[in-house]
């Protein structure tokens, strides 16, 4: 039996980094779909999970959408673009290798491959629930473009700017496909401005423990996601959403196949061996 609201996607929809991990596949008790369910009063089929790609959503998650579904939210595409490999490449010190190649590869996927994959997901949703409201949500900028305040990572200003450009390309691609497929798009870049990693009030984790939470929204970040999505469905304040018990929630059993962040991938032997300083000529 299909639920009235189905939340599809990856770790950014699964609430990774925002709350307590639920039993089973990696999602938490504080992901934005739970707040949206409270705001709308719709029973939720919570399918989003850490590591999901567009292929995972098609294979394991879209089946929860059906004739009774009224609302579908979709946040996916970051793993297809190489979210983890790119962030690993920029988190390592510069002497451990350049991140430009990983970012270039991600940009190529975003422009050349992701539109077709995302279009396939949205058409599958439309095919199962042609009258449902389909809302596609993107990703924020992670870094403020000024400095990396972590004592472990070493993200340069150049890398932050390149990541910002990639985030813009990703957002524009996701919003463009959503519009082309007759879906509503939500751009979260502006709400997160001033709340990036190393800002005074960050809504995104830097390198964290457990490491899977690294570079994911905090509880405040998910509240911002929920406000943006709920504004389309029902005008309600975050304080109201937080104080109302959620409708019935059914958790999906799928697992994502994309790689996840691990500290050992940053603290490699090569990364930890700083090259000797060169004597001045």
230 in active site? no
Per the listing, tokens 């984790």 go with: 205
Q: What is the pLDDT of residues 112-153, one digit of tens each?
A: 999 999 999 999 999 999 999 999 999 999 998 877 776 677
158 in active site? no
Q: What is the pLDDT of residues 29-72, one digit of tens each?
A: 999 999 999 888 899 999 999 999 999 999 999 999 999 999 99
Banded pLDDT at 246 (limits 50, 70, 90): low
Closest by Cα among 237, 251, 213 to 35: 237
Cα–Cα distances in angstroms (integers) from residue 43 to residues 27, 46, 76, 214, in the given order: 17, 10, 21, 30
* pLDDT of amino acid 125: 98
pTM here is: 0.86
| Distance from chain centroid for Cα 226 | 13
Q: Once rounded to an integer, what is the mean pLDDT over residues 161-168?
A: 93
Neighbours of 264 (CB within 10 A): 7
Which of 141, 195, 216, 222 is catalytic? The answer is 216
Higher pLDDT, 59 or 274: 59
Q: At what angle do helices 157-180 and 114-128 cross, to 10 degrees?
A: 40
* pLDDT of amino acid 262: 65
Which of 11, 89, 214, 230 is catalytic? The answer is 11
User: What domains, with CATH codes, occur in the chain?
Assistant: 5-256 (3.40.50.1110)
Closest by Cα among 43, 44, 60 to 9: 60
* pLDDT of amino acid 91: 73
């Amino acid at each position: 039996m299909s639920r009235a609201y189905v939340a599809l996607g990856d770790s950014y929809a699964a609430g990774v980094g925002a709350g307590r991990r639920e039993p089973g596949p990696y999602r938490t008790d504080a992901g934005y779909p739970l707040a949206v369910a409270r705001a709308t009063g719709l029973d939720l089929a919570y399918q989003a999970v850490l590591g999901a790609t567009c292929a995972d959503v098609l294979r394991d998650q879209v089946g929860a959408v059906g004739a009774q579904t009224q609302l579908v939210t979709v946040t996916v595409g970051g793993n297809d673009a190489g979210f983890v490999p790119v962030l690993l490449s920029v988190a390592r010190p510069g002497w451990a290798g350049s991140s430009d190649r990983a970012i270039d590869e991600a940009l190529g996927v975003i422009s050349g491959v992701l539109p077709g994959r995302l279009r396939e997901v949205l058409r599958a949703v439309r095919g199962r629930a042609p009258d449902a409201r389909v809302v596609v949500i993107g990703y924020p900028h992670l870094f403020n473009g000024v400095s990396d305040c972590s004592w472990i990572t070493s993200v340069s200003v150049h890398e932050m700017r390149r990541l910002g450009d990639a985030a813009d390309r990703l957002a524009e691609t996701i919003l463009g496909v959503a519009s082309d497929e007759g879906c509503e798009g939500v751009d979260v870049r502006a709400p997160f401005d001033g709340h990036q990693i190393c800002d005074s009030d960050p809504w995104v984790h830097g390198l964290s423990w457990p490491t899977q939470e690294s570079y994911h929204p905090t509880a405040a970040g998910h509240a911002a996601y929920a406000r943006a999505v709920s504004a389309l469905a029902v005008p309600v304040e975050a304080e109201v959403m937080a104080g109302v018990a959620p409708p019935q929630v059914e958790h999906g059993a799928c697992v994502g196949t994309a790689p996840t962040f691990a500290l050992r991938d940053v603290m490699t032997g090569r990364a930890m061996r700083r090259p000797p300083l060169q004597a001045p000529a």
